[in-house]
Amino acid sequence: MKLFIDSGNLKEIENLMPMGIIDGITTNPSLLAKEGGDYRALLKRICGIVQGPTSAEVVATDVEGMLREGRELAALDDHIVVKVPFTRAGVQACKTLASEGTRVNVTLIFTAAQALLAAKVGATYVSPFVGRLDDIATSGMNLISEIVEIFENYQFDTELLVASTRSPIHIVEAARMGADICTCPATLIEALFKHPLTDIGLERFLKDWEKAQAVKA
Ligand code: E4P
């Protein structure tokens, strides 16, 4: 399963890339707005660092506007994936952009039916938001299991990108279900490294080693 960082923050991205576990980036208007400055320059820098799929979202809500913004974003760098919201306009724009060879991530997916429609129009990725479903007392991971089943039934090429992840359990469950990608905030990726028994075990190994060296000396 691929891991993406859900961030527009250069420090977070630069800090995690050398680990060798990151395959791409997702951004959204809220994340880029938080960074401020010229979002085009920022996206180019992110693409340069990551050298992998980097989702950048349109903010237009009509088809023409989405196509114009999508083409502009795609022209920034070969690694840009144009993100469109799941609306009627978004689905139509996805169809056109995909037919032009642009990779499209259809975002704000909350039902399996929405994922199916996005796959039918050639989305490269669909992004169901599991955390936001959990927030309203609906199982986000049940949605992932439904989409996995549908995509397998029809062998869609569309990749299932699990978004709005909040805990390591989301990541492990997504991997067990066979999701293609999880996008995670940097803090969640850091959390994947942690287990107290690993820390305690290492401390004990090092202490025992030191003791043995002191006896020899
Ligand atoms: C994904 O592409 C979105 O940017 C993101 O995962 C949304 O997460 P949130 O619900 O934590 O804002």
DSSP per-residue letters across 14-25: HHHGGGS---EE
- pLDDT value at residue 217: 80
Residues written for the chain? 217
User: Which of 183, 184, 188, 189 has the most ligand 1 atoms within 8 A of CB, as the residue to mutate?
Assistant: 183
Please tell me if the CB atom of residue 65 comes closer than 6 angstroms to any atom of ligand 1: no
* End-to-end CA gap in the chain: 48
Atom 10, ligand 1: residue with shortest CA distance? 164
d(CA 194, CA 4): 18
Angle at 119 between CA 114 and CA 120, to 5 degrees: 100
d(CA 106, CA 161): 10
What confidence tens digit (pLDDT) does each residue in 59-85 have? Answer: 999 999 999 999 999 999 999 999 999
Please tell me if the CB atom of residue 45 comes closer than 6 angstroms to any atom of ligand 1: no
Q: Which domain holds residue 175?
A: 2-216
Q: Which two tokens stand for residue 75?
A: 């022209």
- pLDDT value at residue 111: 98
Q: Which atom of ligand 1 is nearest to the CA of 27?
A: 4
Known catalytic residues are 83
CATH code of the domain in which 167 resides? 3.20.20.70
Q: Which two tokens stand for residue 108?
A: 């704000």
Backbone angles phi, psi at 38, to 5 degrees: -85, 110
Please tell me if the CB atom of residue 44 comes closer than 6 angstroms to any atom of ligand 1: no
DSSP structural state of residue 155: T
Number of domains, the chain: 1
d(CA 143, CA 138): 9
User: Which of 28, 31, 161, 188 has the most ligand 1 atoms within 8 A of CB, as the residue to mutate?
Assistant: 28
Q: Give me ligand 1 centre to Cα 216, in Å.
A: 55
Atom 11, ligand 1: residue with shortest CA distance? 164
- pLDDT value at residue 216: 85
Atom 4, ligand 1: residue with shortest CA distance? 28
Look up the pTM and report it.
0.96
Q: Could you tell me which residues come within 8 angstroms of residue 208 by beta carbon, excluding any fewer than 6 positions away?
A: none
Give me the tens of pLDDT residue by residue for the chain, a chain 217 residues long: 999 999 999 999 999 999 999 999 999 999 999 999 999 999 999 999 999 999 999 999 999 999 999 999 999 999 999 999 999 999 999 999 999 999 999 999 999 999 999 999 999 999 999 999 999 999 999 999 999 999 999 999 999 999 999 999 999 999 999 999 999 999 999 999 999 999 999 999 999 999 999 998 8
Which of 38, 39, 129 lies closest to 80, judged by CA? 39
d(CA 113, CA 9): 33
d(CA 119, CA 114): 9
